[in-house]
Amino acid sequence: MSKKRREIPVFDQPIIETHCHLDYLTDRPLEETLEQAKGVNIEKVITIAVSPDNLARVRELSQVAPWVYGTQGIHPHDAESYSDDVEAEIRAHARDEKIVAVGEIGLDYFYDNADRDVQREVFRRQLQIACDTDRPVVIHSREADEDTIEILGEFETTLKRRGVIHSFTSGPGLARYALDQGWCLGFNGITTFNKAENVRDIVRMAPIEQILLETDSPFLTPVPYRGKENAPFYLPFVAEKIAEVKELPLDEVIGKTYANSLRTFFPGE
């Protein structure tokens, strides 16, 4: 007989979900997902664009509640579908009131779903959009540490807002570069996985002032709910694990990561 899963903890302090894909969730109605997120004191949710097909959908989702926000950008998997028209759409909406970043953009040499030269070109073009619109960036980097460092280096003086390397699973070299340059690192349910000591090592390395919490739902569901579709309301488990790994009081982790999220995406608050 299977053990009963532990209830999702509810903290007194609010949390910000900095990276999820609300349009990919299928297990329950969106209203129910958001209601459950509110129930565990998630104050804001950022849903992330990844392809030309969901740019408009993310903008629609950013309007479903005052506390839901979005991004605009093309994931490296879809780099070959990038075009001048797609770029024009991202530029046109990057500064919308409910759009808080350019992303999810970057490089993915693990799946190699798009030609690497194309990925690099599209990454650069979208970093330029962030420079031109004064928006932070949400970066995806997998098995591409050296090229990610090289390309970000080209924008060190022009990309004022920086942003986050989300779902950080890269090596210490990219972590050190990003941290030194003022980027945040985003951590999610991977931190709870048994075989993710390499990720926990980066959590230990990163100052709490540069860590963001995310779920990347519907992917990467944290222990003890692995096997179920991930959702923003599982974010408290990530906060707990960060506190455990960094040997910090939970309320400090929640407070600092909340402040980091505001600084990165909501600087006016």
Strand order across the 68-72 sheet: 15-20, 42-47, 68-72, 99-108, 137-142, 163-165, 184-187, 211-213
DSSP helix/strand/coil, 39: helix
Extents of the domains making up the chain:
19-266
Cα separation, 173 vs 175, in Å, equals 5
Q: How many CB atoms lie within 10 A of CB 211?
A: 23
What is the full per-residue pLDDT of the chain (269 aa) written as tens digits? 345 789 999 999 999 999 999 999 999 999 999 999 999 999 999 999 999 999 999 999 999 999 999 999 999 999 999 999 999 999 999 999 999 999 999 999 999 999 999 999 999 999 999 999 999 999 999 999 999 999 999 999 999 999 999 999 999 999 999 999 999 999 999 999 999 999 999 999 999 999 999 999 999 999 999 999 999 999 999 999 999 999 999 999 999 999 999 999 999 88
What is the C-alpha to C-alpha distance for residues 49 and 52, in angstroms, rounded to an integer? Answer: 8
Q: Which two tokens stand for residue 164?
A: 């986050």
CATH number of the structural domain 19-266: 3.20.20.140
